[in-house]
Amino acid sequence: MSAWSFPFRVDARGRSALADADTHARELIEQVLFTAPGERVLRPDFGSGVHQLLFAPAGDTLAAATEASVRAALQRWLADVVEVADVAVRHDEARVTVEVAYRVLSTGRAATASISGPGGGAP
């Protein structure tokens, strides 16, 4: 299966770039994680809200909230594409990292997606 790459780009032949099933699944996960609810006009409930959590005070509460938010968003929007095996959140005073372990349903391959950003905003 091939799908358009995200973000949209042109390949070396001057055509729309395509992504294989595994790459496309990772790109979809990134879309869900990086989209804030309310950002999409026709789908205001799409996204995970991770960006708001990145600026909350770092701690175990942040980690638990982020894990629950990410798992729920991926289950809601990508249940027919990936099976989420685990969501782990690591944090310190300066950085929050969200790691998603998943299996691509169409290929059966296991993979991990990791995003990180500034964390530990002022209380």
For 42, left (φ over 0), alpha (ψ -120 to 50), or beta? Answer: alpha
For residue 105, give the DSSP letter.
Answer: T
- What is the structure's pLDDT at 121? 53
The answer to pTM > 0.95 is no
Read off φ and ψ for residue 63, nearest 5 degrees.
Answer: -60, -45
Question: What are the 10-residue block averages of pLDDT along the chain, 123 residues in total?
Answer: 77 87 91 89 88 70 84 95 93 81 96 81 48
Which residues have C-beta within 8 Å of that of residue 121, sequence separation ≥ 6? 54, 55, 56, 57
Q: pLDDT value at position 122?
A: 45
| Residues 58 and 93 sit within 8 Å (Cβ to Cβ) | yes
Report CA Rg, the chain.
15
Residue 89, φ and ψ in degrees, nearest 5 = -125, 125
* Distances in whole angstroms, Cα of residue 61 to Cα of each of 9, 65, 88, 106, 113: 38, 6, 13, 35, 22
Domains in the chain (CATH in brackets) are 2-118 (3.10.450.40)
